[in-house]
Amino acid sequence: MSEYLIEGGVPIKGVIRASGNKNAALPCIAAALLTDEPVILRNIPDIEDVQVMMEIYTAFGGAAESIGPNAWRLSLGNVKTSEIPLEQARKIRASILFAGPLLARTGKAVLPPPGGDVIGRRRLDTHFLALTELGAKVKSNSAFVFTAKTLKGADIFLDEASVTATENAVMAAVLAKGETILTNAASEPHVQDLCNMLVSMGARINGIGSNILTINGVKKLSGCDFEIGADFMEVGSFIGLAAATGGELTIEGIRRRDLRPAKLAFGKLGIKWEHEGTTIHVPARQAMAVNTDLGGMIPKIDDAPWPGFPPDLTSIITVVATQVKGTVLIHEKMFESRMFFVDKLIGMGARIVLCDPHRAVVTGPARLTGSELHSPDVRAGMAMIIAAMCAQGKSVIRNIYQIERGYEHIVARLSSLGARIVSR
């Protein structure tokens, strides 16, 4: 299995362009199933998860053609099967995103248990709640089988603001009869991208960007030519990398409004950046120090559904905090196993107290030393790259498939910034 060899202690410097949002690309690929007309998607990152979603799409009888850098043309006349392939479903949690479109298009969806990151229990109940409210029936044995003669609009209150359940519900509801009101809906930028794509296809969706979506079903959707936004999780990762290594970085192609929650959180660590249009600049060697709360109290950085601090950046900011003067509490409220990677950071010399599965107290700055690491998921894997690039000496990171699922051409891009990283 491939691995990364990283020599740390080198500040990064240069210019990099943000990739398209992975979490927007995946549902947008699934949404292409909702029409028999061609769909063109642009700014699609060249990553493992996208390749797997394309494989699933073509398994239904569709054609996926690369028409240029990060651009794809998808077309599917007649759906040949309503069954999501087992091998691909095991690789990626986003395979469940085909359930809503398949139900809307064919009246049936067969979903093997989806795979994905190992970051704790990830419920599917909200998907079932939403789709059954729209008229689907669900049976479970070795796979989940959804069936529906007719999907009908409904007034649905989601039991959690699940991103993928919201996306599945919206994709099913756009072709359902009547009006659907979706309350406690997720409103992340990638959910907004999906909704805006569907609107460009002829869907009628109001309330985009809020937690209440009103969807009036239509009989048919057309094709579209749609460009997804920048991956603000990747941008946050690069900001953290620049700050932690004492480097200087310019990031192009960003969407400023998507970075507001990250700006507040990184600001608590004394990390700032400058905006100009669709570009940000992270200055070199910032005086990173924890900004205490009123009365000198230890501040807390905690994640939450949008517009809160994104949970996918919790691992990143934990590593960055090891290089900041002062003490901060990191509270990961949404996944019970995401913080378990910190034992590897402690082994590298980080001063972290893991209070429980959700909370870690980090005191810095700490001198990290190179180590042998294993990536448990996409974001923890990137956090380990940042730690290795901060550390003195050499580090080896294994299970890099998990990293390359979410970060486009990461070795080449980091190497262009002066990082001493090779894949072997």
Active site residues: 117
Q: 10 Å Cβ neighbour count for 13?
A: 16
Q: Is 422 left (phi over 0), alpha (psi -120 to 50) or beta?
A: beta
Q: 10 Å Cβ neighbour count for 150?
A: 9
What is the spatial distance between Cα 237 and Cα 254, in angstroms, rounded to a whole number? 13
What is the spatial distance between Cα 107 and Cα 94, in angstroms, rounded to a whole number? 20
What percent of the residues of the chain are helix, what percent strand, and what percent coil, each to the nearest 5?
35, 25, 40
Q: What is the per-residue DSSP string for 335-365?
A: -TTGGGGHHHHHHTT-EEEEEETTEEEEEE-
Encoding tokens for residue 359?
A: 């909370």
Identity of the amino acid at 345: L
SS3 103: helix
Q: What is the per-residue DSSP string for 40-55?
A: EEES---SHHHHHHHH
- The kind and range of the H/E element at 289 are none
Q: Contact at 8 Å (CB) between 226 and 346?
A: no
Q: Contact at 8 Å (CB) between 243 and 286?
A: yes
Q: Contact at 8 Å (CB) between 34 and 171?
A: yes
Pairing of strands 204-206, 212-216: antiparallel
Q: Where are the extended beta strands (E) located within 32-75?
A: 39-42, 63-68, 71-75
